[in-house]
């Protein structure tokens, strides 16, 4: 189908984009990579009268690597994959990005669009929760930061205000023990379940652990209890099973075309156990 008629805007600065968002309100929509919005417009499930394209805003692009890693919202997933410094500082990002859809999607899909859309099936929201990332939001009232773990409120509902623009994500360099494990029906599909795991180790024991899950609830899930179950252990079978059991208490999958609830819980447990094993091996 063909989208309904709209007026196209291509601002060249964050301030100009925010002004357009404030001017057009509910009649305007921001587009980043377009993989979520454009199909909805073609199906007439969304019909914005004003489309605000962020591709022309240079300040929304780029990757900075140091003690804190900062990624501009319009950085594509493909750009993350070819960034040498990011590969060394946060390899879990690249491991997850390689599993997002297919190369065509990754060439246009942006970090900001993936995390700001509020889709529980997207890969980066749970990963950002695992990393304890912070999202920078700019609106008419200025700039503020929101923790990724506080950002997701319901399916497609986030802490971002209507007139705010997500401009960057930032997080501290993570520990070396990492894994992003994903089970899906076919290339390009959403996960049946996916797990992001970060583990820090000293003297053969876990000293820090973070666990987050994708597409097993109506929002991405950061399972504090699962991470705590690993602290002080050597990630033996009992510890892994304790973490899996804790995670099961935090998720709430629903039946759909990827399977019944019991199947999804089983897959989530298998995927998390695999992710913990790989993260521990790397730690």
Structure-model confidence comparison of residues 39 and 81, the more confident one: 81
Q: Which residue has the tokens 């990757």?
A: 63
Domain ranges, residue 221: 177-282
Does residue 62 belong to any structural domain of this protein?
yes
Q: Where are the beta strands (DSSP E) in 80-176?
A: 134-139, 142-147, 152-154, 157-158, 165-172
Mean pLDDT of 119-128: 96
Same domain as 240, residue 161: no
Q: Tell whether 2 is covered by a domain.
A: no
Give residue 102's pLDDT: 86
End position of a domain, from candidates 124, 157, 172: 172
- 262 & 212 share domain: yes
| Element containing residue 254 per DSSP (H, E) | none
167 and 182, same domain (yes or no): no
Q: Of 157, 172, 187, which residue constitutes the final position of a domain? A: 172
Please check whether residues 225 and 144 belong to one and the same domain. no
Q: Looking at residues 95-123, what average pLDDT do you find?
A: 93
- Residues 192, 131 within the same domain: no
Confidence tier at 3 by pLDDT (50, 70, 90): confident
- What pLDDT score was predicted for residue 74? 97
Mean pLDDT of the chain: 95
pLDDT single digits (tens) 6-30: 999 999 999 999 999 999 998 999 9
Alpha-carbon distance 14 to 8, whole Å? Answer: 16
129 falls within a domain: yes
Last residue of a domain, one of 154, 172, 190: 172
Check whether residue 14 and residue 75 sit in a common domain: no
Structure-model confidence comparison of residues 279 and 186, the more confident one: 279
Whether pLDDT at 105 is above 90: no
Query: Residue 49: which CATH number?
Result: 3.30.43.10
Give dist(CA 107, CA 6) in Å, integer. Answer: 25
pLDDT, tens digit, 9 for 90 and up, residues 215-252? 999 999 999 999 999 999 999 999 999 999 999 999 99
Local confidence band at 42 (pLDDT 50, 70, 90 cut-offs): confident
The structural domain count of the chain equals: 3
Query: Which pLDDT value is given to residue 36?
Result: 83
> Has residue 245 been placed in a domain?
yes
pTM: 0.94
Mean pLDDT calculated for residue range 84-98: 95
């Amino acid at each position: 189908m063909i989208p309904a008629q709209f007026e196209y805007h291509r601002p060249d600065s964050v301030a100009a984009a925010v002004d357009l968002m404030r001017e057009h309100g509910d009649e305007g929509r921001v587009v980043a990579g377009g993989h979520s919005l454009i199909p909805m417009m073609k199906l007439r499930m969304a019909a914005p009268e004003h489309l605000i394209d962020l591709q022309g805003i240079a300040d929304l692009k780029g990757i900075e690597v140091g003690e804190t890693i900062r990624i501009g919202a319009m950085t594509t997933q493909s750009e993350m994959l070819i960034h040498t410094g990011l590969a060394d500082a946060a390899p879990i990002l690249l491991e997850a990005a390689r599993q997002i859809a297919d190369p065509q999607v990754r060439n246009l899909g942006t970090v900001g669009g993936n995390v700001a859309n509020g889709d529980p099936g997207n890969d980066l929201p749970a990963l950002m929760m695992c990393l304890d990332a912070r999202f920078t939001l700019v609106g008419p009232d200025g700039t503020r930061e929101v923790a990724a773990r506080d950002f997701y409120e319901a399916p497609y509902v986030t802490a971002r205000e209507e007139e705010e623009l997500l401009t960057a994500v930032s997080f501290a360099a993570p520990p070396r023990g990492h894994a992003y494990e994903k089970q899906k029906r076919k290339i390009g599909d959403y996960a049946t379940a996916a797990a992001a795991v970060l583990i820090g180790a000293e003297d053969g024991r876990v000293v820090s652990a973070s666990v987050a899950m994708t597409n097993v609830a109506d929002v991405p899930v950061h399972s504090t209890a699962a991470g705590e179950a690993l602290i002080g252990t050597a990630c033996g079978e009992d510890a892994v099973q304790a973490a899996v059991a804790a995670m099961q208490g935090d998720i709430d999958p629903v039946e759909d075309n990827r399977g019944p609830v019991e199947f999804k819980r089983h897959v989530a447990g298998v995927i998390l156990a695999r992710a913990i094993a790989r993260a521990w091996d790397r730690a």
